[in-house]
Structure 1
Amino acid sequence: MSLPELCSLIAANHGRDDVDWLFLARTDEVGEPTPLLTGPAVGLVAAGAKRAALGDRTYDYRAGQYLAVSVDLPVTSTYTEAPFLGIGLWLEPSAIAELLLDTDRSVTRAANHPGIAVSDASPELIDAFTRLLRLLDRPDDLRVLAPMIKREIVWRLITGPQGAMVRQIGLADSTLTHVGRAIRWIREHHAEPLRIEELARLSRMSTTSFHRHFRAVTAMTPVQYQKSIRLHEARLLLVDRTHDVTTVGYLVGYESASQFSREYRRQFGLPPGRDAERLRHANA
């Protein structure tokens, strides 16, 4: 087991898209901050360093460390040291719940876990990711052995430093799960008016408790979270070229074109039209 071997495997397999539950990252340059929407996942750095920003919090992690995310969050990601090589795995609530039940692992619930955290990776976790990548060129082995290694990775996570947070993903009655209902509602209905009382009721909390737990998990208020989701969705629509700036602002929930442009520029650094042109040129 070694990070150099993991680096070699990531470099050799980067760009393949035949395994949708695994993602590989490789870049030779540091870059501009990139806003993205992420869900429950773990990302391990094999070389280089990266920074994730969520609200007013920043999380720096480098070779031998991993970032765990437990809910859908709008983060801004930046490669801060290159060359960078990383591997990630989506975390499935059902797989975590099944493992907790099978192992009779303690499921004590603790309030106010953040939805994102960084920790050092154990040698066992690095080894599991390495063995998983070795399977990619052996389809029969991948089909049979990958589920076992994925289960091992989940086990290493729930018994590791961020275990309390990761275990919450699989608990149907956890605070994280309740807040997650509100997060999913906002993502799916981001263009609609926000009614905090209804979100609190959906999360089975009082309004005061909901505000406290929501901010603890996302580092944002519900209104700030909705705004971030709206702007991320607007960016995707603009790059697609289907609608003009005013129409996009309306589609994601803005009634004022000037407010949309102002908040978009504050979030992404450029007015909507210019930012969309830059992204299209970069992806051409």
Structure 2
Amino acid sequence: MDGTIGGAFVRMTIQSEHTPATPANGSIKDSLAVETIRLASLISGQAPYEGSFSQRIPGLSVSRYSRATKDDMKSFDLPSLLIVAQGAKTVTVGQEVYPFKQSQILVLPVALPISLKITHASHLEPYLSVKLVLDPHKIAELVLRVYPQGVPAVTKWSAGYVLSADAAMINAASRLVACLSHTSDAELLGPLVMDEILIRVLRSPIGARIAELGFAGSEANLVTKAVAWLRNHFSHPMKVAELADMVHMSESTFRVHFKSMTSMSPLQYQKALRLHEARRLMVSEFMDATTACNLVGYASPSQFNRDYSRFFGSPPKRDVVGLRQQVTPDSNLPLE
């Protein structure tokens, strides 16, 4: 584990608590390999085409990509747990970079604007993963069972955590994806297997950090409340001191904890939210840049264009044309 002074961020790559300390145990490695191959096969059956696909179990999706990406793709992710069955990917949050690969898990505890890149994939061995959205209410329910004596104190936070999965975790993910083949299994057994996966994460070395999200009044919970307010009011003027007061923290403490959990300042987070929403309005609602700029809270169209170009790598009109052509290559949809 490494981090900065004052807990500005913590970067962690952690071995699962269930993985034996001695790498000489070949049977453990063989078991993990077999389970991972099975998970990849099951995901491939649910994702026969390129892209990410929501499933009938709420909060569950699977992804398939058959080529590495040259440029970063901007996205906005809900709190989530992602398990890679094949290939590799890199997620960037603020200034923090999280590379992860086959048989590894990425956990993002709060909703975050991210950049992602598929770093290893081919048509023969596509990138395959399964993602679960984290529900703070469900986490709070399970924490009482996993930590009946209370959650250990947490002193350092991070925007994301990478863990090495063990065979039991991969097996649980396989059983979850297998539930999708039968409606009754998806409805009755799927939620139980999702609980099992969350329990395994709560028992892992980052478990206390995830558990804190479900405790009212904890620093992590207060930051997630501030994040929720920003997501719902991103177009409103915002003063950091008022946001800190809203969640009953001093401004200095709030700034430190917010940055440690998101790898960005509250103002940077608000700007990212505004730009993502403006992009969505232009692509999905066929809105012109000036109207989108005003709706998301920008007072200056020129400032909006500068921020948009820096954030997405292209000015609004060119970026939106490119995004629409990815969906309909021959389309010539108007932007004005």
TM range (shorter): over 0.9
Q: Is 1:203 the equivalent of 2:241?
A: no
The Cα shift of 1:109 comes to 3.6
Give the aligned residue type for 1:158. L
CA contact (8 A) 2:56 2:186 kept: no
What residue in structure 1 maps to residue 63 of structure 2? Answer: 25
Q: What is the CA-CA distance between 1:16 and the residue it aligns to?
A: 6.3
* TM-score of the aligned structures, taking structure 2 as reference length: 0.81
Cα distance in 2 for residues equivalent to 1:110 and 1:161: 11
> TM-score, normalised on structure 1?
0.96
Shift of 1:198: 1.3
- Which aligned pairs between 1:175-214 and structure 2 lie closer than 5 A? 175-214=219-258
SS in 2 for 1:177: helix
Structure 2 residue corresponding to 1:2, chosen from 35, 56, 66? 35
State the 1:97 CA deviation.
Answer: 1.2
Aligned equivalents of 2:301, 2:231: Cα separation in 1? 21
- CA distance in structure 2 between the aligned counterparts of 1:112 and 1:187, rounded to whole angstroms: 24
Residues 211-222 of structure 1: matches in 2 within 5 Å? 211-222=255-266
- Between the aligned partners of 1:141 and 1:260, the Cα distance in structure 2 is 48
5+ residue gaps, structure 1, are none
Cα distance in 2, alignment partners of residues 137 and 123 from structure 1: 22
What does residue 113 of structure 2 align with? 74
- Once superposed, which parts of structure 1, at least 4 consecutive aligned residues long, lie more than 3 Å away? none
Q: 1:157-176 deviations in whole A, cap 9, x for unaligned?
A: 00112212211222122211
Aligned-residue RMSD, C-alpha: 1.4
User: 1:1-284 counterparts in 2 under 5 A?
Assistant: 2-14=35-47, 15=53, 17-31=55-69, 32-82=71-121, 83-103=126-146, 104=148, 106-284=150-328
Matched residues in 2 for 1:144 and 1:241: separation? 37
Could you tell me how far apart the structure 1 residues matched to 2:54 and 2:315 are? 34
Cα pair 1:39 1:72 within 8 Å, conserved: yes
Residues 236 and 297 in structure 2, CA contact (< 8 A), matched pair in contact too: yes
- 1:190·1:229 contact (CA, 8 Å) conserved in 2? yes
Structure 2 unaligned blocks of 5 or more: 1-33, 48-52, 329-336
Q: State the 1:118 CA deviation.
A: 0.8
Question: How far apart are the structure 1 equivalents of 2:259 and 2:167?
Answer: 33
CA distance in 2, matches of 1:20, 1:282: 27
The one-letter code of the counterpart of 1:129 is A
CA distance in 1, matches of 2:246, 2:86: 42
How far 1:105 sits from its partner (Å)?
5.5
- Name the aligned partner's letter for residue 234 of structure 1: A
The answer as to whether partners of 2:57 and 2:186 remain within 8 angstroms in 1 is no
- Tell me: CA distance 1:219–1:144, structure 2 relative to 1, closer, same or farther (3 Å): same
The farther-off stretch of 173-182 and 95-104 is 95-104
CA distance in 1: counterparts of 2:224 and 2:254, whole angstroms: 11
Which string of whole-angstrom CA distances, capped at 9 and with x for unpartnered residues, describes residues 125-176 of structure 1? 1110011111111222222222221111011100112212211222122211
Which letter does structure 2 place at the counterpart of 1:209?
T
Following superposition, the deviation at residue 71 of structure 1 comes to 0.8
